[in-house]
Amino acid sequence: MKSVKSDFLCLSEWTAPQLDAILTLTAKLKAQHKAGEAQPLLAGKTLGMIFEKSSTRTRVSFEVGMFQLGGQAIFLSAADSQIGRGEPIKDTARVLSRYVDAIAIRTYSQTSVAELASYATVPVINALTDSYHPCQLMADLFTVQECKGSYSDQVYCWIGDGNNMANSWINAAAVFGFELRVATPVGYEPDPWVIERAVQRGARLTFTNDPLEAARGANVLNTDVWASMGQEQEQQQRIKDFAGFQINDATLGVAASDALVLHCLPAHRGEEISDAVIEGPHSVVFDEAENRLHVQKAILARLLGAA
């Protein structure tokens, strides 16, 4: 029987005050880091990192974050561990729980993350699945808060694929109560179950197949690649289907004059976002990427009871 613990698997499992506390801690940790102050909150602690999908930002930000907090991280790819040879995830969970203090997993199925968490006796963090990307979403909200002073009174617009990021924005809209508009091509809408759950919680959602309609007057524009990992064989078809769903000067022209542009990266410049926009004055894409580091430090510290 595992002990009571907290996991970070999906934003809808947390309350607004709990997530606000993480954002507040993020601001504190980032300020301390910029000031060169030591942050030994997780001294002697180890994070196990299971990655079945390739990564740049997620891997580096978690490893560096643990180092900055005085701990360490161990990277486990599917190819270099027994996971890739078919070891049951419930066995991996119980073994790693005896070695490490927390586990971050980046994989395909949300079911795998849930199973890992159900058997692990240490906190589990969803570092990305095909369904959700909660750490990225928290970094996005923190970036908006830094730039606007508050994330709560903004109108958000998602343009592109109804993927894990779109699902995460819908979850966030339900938890925090802000207005969210989602523009996708026909047939690429977000998960209907995610939408239904959010609507039941009173989320203010608008869905359309017209990206300019969704962007009109919006304070925050957000997008992602048209073909995510595992969908590479659909790339050419998606380029055709997503024609017109690019964040560019025309999109910014109908948004609020001080609109922010977000992208979780990596970006396919010239597809879902123009090079001029990602390099332009409205883009906070690289601040957003930096904030993954500090948000994840706050999540780790909170889950491990260090702050």
pLDDT score at 232: 76
Cα angle, residue 11 at apex, residues 224 and 262 outer, rounded to 5° = 25
- Residues within the annotated binding site? 55-58, 82, 106, 133-136, 164, 224, 228-229, 264-265, 292
39 is catalytic: no
145-182 exposure pattern, b = at least 16 Cβ within 10 A, e = fewer? bbbeeebeebbbbbbbbbbbbbbbbbbbbbbbebbbbb
pLDDT score at 229: 66
264 is catalytic: yes
Residues of the chain with pLDDT below 50 are: 1-2
Exactly one of 10, 59, 68, 106 is catalytic; name it: 106
224 is catalytic: yes
Question: Which residues touch 105 (CB under 8 Å, ≥6 apart)?
Answer: 49, 50, 51, 52, 112, 113, 116, 124, 125, 126, 127
Instruction: State pTM to two decimals.
Output: 0.96
Sign of CA dihedral 166, 168, 171, 175: negative
Domains of the chain: 11-133+291-304 (3.40.50.1370), 136-288 (3.40.50.1370)
216 is catalytic: no
Question: Which residues touch 50 (CB under 8 Å, ≥6 apart)?
Answer: 76, 78, 81, 83, 92, 96, 103, 104, 105, 106, 107, 116
278 within 8 A of 284, measured Cβ to Cβ: no
Per the rule left: phi > 0, alpha: psi between -120 and 50, beta: everything else, 147 is: alpha
- Residues within the annotated binding site for L-ornithine? 164, 224, 228-229
For the stretch 206-251, pLDDT in tens is 999 999 999 999 999 999 999 876 677 788 999 999 999 999 999 9
For the stretch 46-85, pLDDT in tens is 999 999 998 999 999 999 999 999 999 999 987 777 877 7
- Residues within the annotated binding site for carbamoyl phosphate? 55-58, 82, 106, 133-136, 264-265, 292
pLDDT score at 1: 36
161 within 8 A of 226, measured Cβ to Cβ: yes
Alpha helices in 225-284 (DSSP H): 235-241, 249-254, 275-278
